[in-house]
Structure formats: C-alpha cells, structure tokens
C-alpha cells in the first residue's frame, strides 16, 4: 500500500488518484496526515482565491417535501415536522434585506414542494433579477424535469445545488425509499450541467452504512464530474427519522475530506457548512482552514429558521445569521481570511 503522505503529494501534483488510492488515503487518516493535507489544501486555495471567503445568503423557502428520505427531518412522513412556505413577497423581502447587508448571491433552498411550480418560480426569479441584476441566484429545490430546469435557467437562475448524497448506488438505496432513484439523481446532475448551470453536488459524511469505500467513490465522482461547487458536512441524525438513533459524522473527517476535495479541484467552491458549526462552535473556521472558501449565513425570516429542521440541534440564532454578517467577518479575520462582497463565481484555471 502506498504511504498516505505520498498519496497526498501525488494528489497535489496530479489532481487525481485511483479509487483504491482514495480509499487508502481515507483508511490511513491520522492527525499528522490531516495536517499535511490541510497545509497543501490551503496552499492550493491561496493560489486560486487568495484569502477571500465568499458569502451566500441562504433563504429556506419551504419545509414541505414530497419525498421520504430516511435521514431527513422534513421527510414527508414526519408528522412532527413544522411546515411552512414563504410567499414570493417574503422571499423578495429577504433578498432586499440581503442586498442591503452586502450579499450578492441568494440561495433559495427547500424541500421538493409542488407548490413552487415553474410559473411561480420563474416569475419570482425574473423579479429578483430585475431588482438586483448584478446578483447570482442559486436554486436548491431537488429533482425536476429537464423542461423545468431549462425554464428556471432561462428565467435567471445561475446555479443549482443538488447533492448526490452518495456515489454508490447500493448505499443510496440504504438512505432512500424505493420510489427514489440513484440513476435519476445522477441524470439530473448531468442535465443541469448540459443546460449551462454552475452545478453543485455533495454528500453527507458519516451517513449510515458509509465506509471508506463509499467515500472514495464520492471523491472519484467529484473528480470526474467537476462541479462548480461541492457541499459536504457531517451527517447529524434527526430523532423523528428512521436513522434517529444512528451516530453522526465528525467535524474532523469532514475537514479531512474538504482538504482532499481542494486538491482534486483547486477552483472548487467549497462551503464550510452550518452542520460543522452545529457540532463545533469553531467548525466553520476549521472548515475554512482546511480548504473551504464559502459560508452561507441564513437570510430566512427568524420565525421559520427552526422549522427548517433537516437534522437535530441546528443552530438558528447568532452568527450563522446573515444579519450578523459583521460578526462572521470578524471571525474570518481572526483566522486570516477576508469575507468579501462578491458573486463568488468559480475561477477559471
């Protein structure tokens, strides 16, 4: 077996490892190897993005979802979930507040809620772009048809985030009911890229049934797919789901993977997620120091933030809030990074 430090050096040079090599790099994880990967990732990140950290204003538009994913707190069959939908006016008001706070990207995220049909979303996208033509709009609304994705793109959506959750088909089946298809999820990602979106994929770290083999497949998928963004974070169970008693993922493994992803694709947009901050008060800083370069504070109305409960104990007040952008800027400055007012498009390299 090739030594992990040699694999880290090879990855920094070649931007690619074999599936077996990725698995070996994961199996050999240690504090020393994590430090080596982190140092390499920061060096690569610095060469592409300097010390800048991009912000996105997250607007959680609906906690209704037609799907029944086994790990998700807003799954259809969770009768304890608090449901809400933001109106188009409420969403536009969030964008207006965000613009005044310095945000130049808005992320509209929600469950797969049929209420948000193409006509409603397209009208809203056109209004956002009329008021803020310099902004970028990201959608994260799950699986839709090619025709729907095309209409939303034509109406002004710039980016689309669709986590693949796992690049292993059998593992996908452990996490989702039979009504959901791994093949369809992967086809959606391909379709989004063909249409012209900046596409984001992503996966949970430490999800039930996941081993180094599944994670290696995730890394190889990202290497081949070359998304604009990849969102990863520790799996945190929700008590009202079939996986509510499962152990969660770790900040340390998530940061280890962030460093590997930065070496795979130096211009990748990598968020330091809210889940990192949920498990560790300094989780987002650790993510940035491991190669991440995006944070996504919450612009949703305070009244609904706790209702969008994908997992237990989600932080809903304080410095994850977009209204405390200055606090977050100070926290980034304390570790040597600058929070910038920018659309934050991926750099061409």
pLDDT tens, 217-276? 999 999 999 999 999 999 999 999 999 999 999 999 999 999 999 999 999 999 999 999
Structural contact between residues 24 and 4, judged by C-beta atoms closer than 8 angstroms: yes
Which residues lie across from 202 on neighbouring strands? 231
Q: Is residue 318 predicted with pLDDT exceeding 90?
A: no
Q: What is the DSSP string of 207-243?
A: -TT--HHHHHHHHHHHHHH--SEEEEEE----TTSTT
Rounded CA-CA distance 279/312 in Å is 11
Q: Specify the pLDDT at position 322.
A: 60
Task: Name all domains of the chain by residue range, CATH numbers in brackets.
Answer: 4-340 (3.20.20.70)
Shortest CA distance to 166 belongs to which of 197, 195, 208? Answer: 208
Own/partner pairs for 240-243, CB < 8 Å, 24+ apart?
240/73, 240/78, 240/80, 240/81, 241/70, 241/71, 241/72, 241/73, 241/75, 241/78, 242/70, 242/71, 243/70, 243/71, 243/208
Mind listing the pLDDT tens digit for each residue in 173-202?
999 999 999 999 999 999 999 999 999 999
Distance between CA atoms of 255 and 276, rounded to whole angstroms?
9
For residue 109, name the pLDDT band (cuts at 50, 70, 90).
Answer: very high
pLDDT in tens, 132-186: 999 999 999 999 999 999 999 999 999 999 999 999 999 999 999 999 999 999 9
Residue 56 · residue 103 · CB < 8 Å: yes
67-76 mean pLDDT: 97
Is residue 323 pLDDT above 70, yes or no? Answer: no
Say how far apart CA 266 and CA 97 lie, in whole Å: 32
Convert the pLDDT of each residue in 4-23 to its tens digit: 999 999 999 999 999 999 99
Considering only CA atoms, which of 242, 238, 220 is closest in space to residue 230?
220
Sign of CA pseudo-dihedral 145, 71, 265, 283: positive
**Mean of pLDDT over the chain:** 95
Contact between residue 140 and residue 108 where contact means Cβ atoms under 8 Å apart:
yes
Nearest to 219 by CA among 196, 193, 253, 188: 253
Both structure tokens of 313: 């104990």
Q: Could you read off the pLDDT of 32-50 as tens digits, one per residue?
A: 999 999 999 999 999 999 9
- pTM for this model (two decimals): 0.96
The two tokens of residue 225 are: 């797919």
């Amino acid at each position: 077996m090739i030594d992990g430090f040699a694999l880290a050096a090879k990855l920094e040079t070649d931007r690619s490892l074999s599936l077996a090599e990725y698995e070996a790099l994961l199996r050999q994880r240690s504090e020393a190897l994590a430090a080596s990967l982190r140092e390499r990732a920061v060096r690569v990140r610095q060469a592409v993005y300097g010390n800048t950290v991009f912000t996105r204003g997250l607007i959680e538009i609906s906690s209704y979802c037609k799907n029944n994913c086994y790990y998700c707190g807003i799954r259809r069959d969770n009768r304890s979930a608090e449901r809400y939908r933001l109106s188009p006016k409420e969403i536009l008001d969030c964008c207006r507040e965000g613009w005044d706070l310095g945000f130049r990207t808005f992320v509209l995220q929600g469950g797969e809620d049929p209420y948000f049909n193409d006509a409603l979303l397209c009208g809203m996208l056109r209004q956002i772009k009329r008021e803020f033509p310099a902004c970028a709009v990201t959608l994260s609304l799950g699986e839709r048809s090619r025709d729907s994705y095309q209409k939303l793109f034509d109406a002004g959506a710039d980016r689309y985030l669709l986590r693949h959750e796992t690049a292993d088909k059998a593992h996908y089946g452990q996490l989702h009911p039979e009504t959901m298809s791994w093949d369809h999820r992967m086809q959606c990602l391909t379709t989004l890229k063909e249409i012209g979106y900046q596409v984001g994929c992503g996966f949970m770290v430490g999800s039930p049934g996941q081993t180094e083999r599944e994670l290696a497949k995730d890394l190889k998928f990202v290497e081949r797919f070359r998304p604009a963004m990849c969102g990863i974070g520790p799996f945190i169970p929700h008590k009202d789901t079939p996986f509510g008693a499962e152990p969660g993922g770790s900040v340390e493994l998530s940061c280890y993977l962030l460093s590997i992803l930065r070496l795979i694709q130096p211009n990748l947009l990598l968020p330091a997620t809210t889940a990192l901050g949920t498990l560790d008060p300094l989780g987002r800083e650790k993510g940035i120091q491991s190669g991440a370069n995006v944070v996504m504070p919450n612009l949703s109305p305070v009244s609904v933030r706790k209702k969008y409960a994908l997992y237990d104990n989600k932080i809903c007040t304080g410095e994850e809030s977009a209204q405390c952008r200055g606090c977050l800027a100070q926290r980034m400055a304390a570790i040597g990074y600058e929070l910038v007012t920018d659309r934050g498009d991926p750099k061409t390299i």
